[in-house]
Amino acid sequence: MDVIDLRSDTITRPTAAMRKAMAGAEVGDDVFKEDPTVNRLEEMAAQRLGKRAALLVGSGTMGNLVSQLAHCGRGDETILGDQSHVFFYEQGGASALGGIHPRTLSNEMDGTIALETIEAAIRPDDLHFPRSRLVILENTHNRCSGTPLKPAYTTAVERLAKRHGLKLHIDGARIFNAAVALGVDVAELAAPADSVTFCLSKGLAAPVGSVVCGDEAFIARARRMRKSVGGGMRQAGIIAAAGIVALTEMVDRLAEDHVNARTLAVGLAEIPGLLIDPGAIATNIVYFRVAKHGLDAPTMVAQLGAQGVRVLPTAKDQMRAVLNYHVTSADVQQALAVFSRVMKE
């Protein structure tokens, strides 16, 4: 049975061009900064994001962790959304490994945090409080239906942060999805940030890796932090080669995933017992709920899986589907037929 895997865009497998590039990659010792393919990827990534320097890391979680460690000292505080990936899914790494305190604020439905809420959370200079050091935004925002943050909002947060002497970090795991959806250059989305991460291994379909971008001084600190958490890699050009292909060949096609996501959302909305607002779907992430007596999300996920469609349960009554390189428009129609059949049964 063919399987349509909608659990995440992390399930994407490397393209033929990536495999060829990996097999022929020129390599060296990246800890000594001697891997030419890694150096090329980092230069390319920095240029694409409009930053001065970049650093290849093993994952988006590592990228966000080393960024926080580079910006903050022990006892400092970050300000971030209560639905953010950094807070929700990264195991409290900044607290466990860096002694960094998270101050969580409510995310709006569009993934933003109200400016007045951010400003009210910034600590005064008082020995009773941790020092506010860093604001973290997420673009696109995973748990807020993959919503892209608009440049005007991020710029407003940057101005607020600078007014209070804080830095701004963007968890841009899917920032290229945001750029494609908004029709802007990715550098415009990254411009307000002191640091930004993006994943090569999600919609861009590389097998592994993320990149951290910022100025030279920040990247030098991040490189030290990467080493301290065991992220120093050696002949990492094998990984970087696939990342180069991802940046040169896989960005524009993200629009296909967005179209397929909207088609899936519209189809799900027409199935009795499923709840979704198709108008909320802007990129490749689709959250929806089941509202049928006697059926919860884990049960439905199991039934869908038995018929060849994989989705991810995210709450007792909620599921997530993420469109990706391996899911075609025909697959979407087949998946919708399975959803309809399961709901009728």
Per residue in 238-290, pLDDT (tens digit) is 999 999 999 999 999 999 999 999 999 999 999 999 999 999 999 999 999 99
What percent of the chain shows pLDDT beyond 70?
100
Can you give the pLDDT at residue 163? 98
Give the H/E segment covering residue 212: strand 210-214
Give the H/E segment covering residue 98: helix 93-98
- DSSP class of residue 112 equals -
- Max Cα separation, the chain? 62
Mean pLDDT of the chain, nearest integer: 97
Per residue in 89-140, pLDDT (tens digit) is 999 999 999 999 999 999 999 999 999 999 999 999 999 999 999 999 999 9
The strands making up 131-138's β-sheet, listed across from edge to edge, are 53-57, 210-214, 195-199, 167-171, 131-138, 76-81, 101-105
- From CA 295, how far away is CA 345, in angstroms rounded? 11
10 has a pLDDT exceeding 80: yes
Please give the class, per CATH, of domain 12-249. alpha beta
Can you give the pLDDT at residue 23? 98
Per residue in 40-56, pLDDT (tens digit) is 999 999 999 999 999 99
Token pair, residue 154, equals 């991020």
Residue type, 205: A
Can you give the pLDDT at residue 345? 84
Give the confidence band of 25 by pLDDT, cuts at 50, 70, 90: very high
Please give the class, per CATH, of domain 253-344. alpha beta
Residue 166 and residue 134 in contact, taking contact as beta carbons nearer than 8 Å = yes
Q: How far is CA 130 from the centre of its chain?
A: 28
1 has a pLDDT exceeding 80: no
Over range 314-331, report the average pLDDT.
97
Peptide bond into 140 cis (omega under 30): yes
Using CA atoms in the order 214, 220, 222, 225, what is the torsion angle rounded to 10 degrees?
180
| Of 241, 235, 187, the residue nearest 213 (C-alpha) | 187
Over range 159-188, report the average pLDDT.
98
- From CA 112, how far away is CA 342, in angstroms rounded? 35
- From CA 81, how far away is CA 140, in angstroms rounded? 13
**DSSP per-residue letters across 120-165:** HHSPPS-TTSPEEEEEEEESSBGGGTTBPPPHHHHHHHHHHHHHTT
Q: 56 vs 35, 66, 95, 188, CA distance in Å?
A: 11, 11, 23, 21
Domain residue limits, the chain: 12-249, 253-344
Give the confidence band of 293 by pLDDT, cuts at 50, 70, 90: confident
Q: 127 vs 124, 131, 195, 218, 302, CA distance in Å?
A: 9, 9, 28, 27, 52
62 has a pLDDT exceeding 90: yes
Sole residue written with tokens 């709840």: 275
Using DSSP's 3-state secondary structure scheme, residue 194 falls into coil
Label residue 324 left, alpha or beta by phi (over 0 means left) and psi (-120 to 50 means alpha). beta
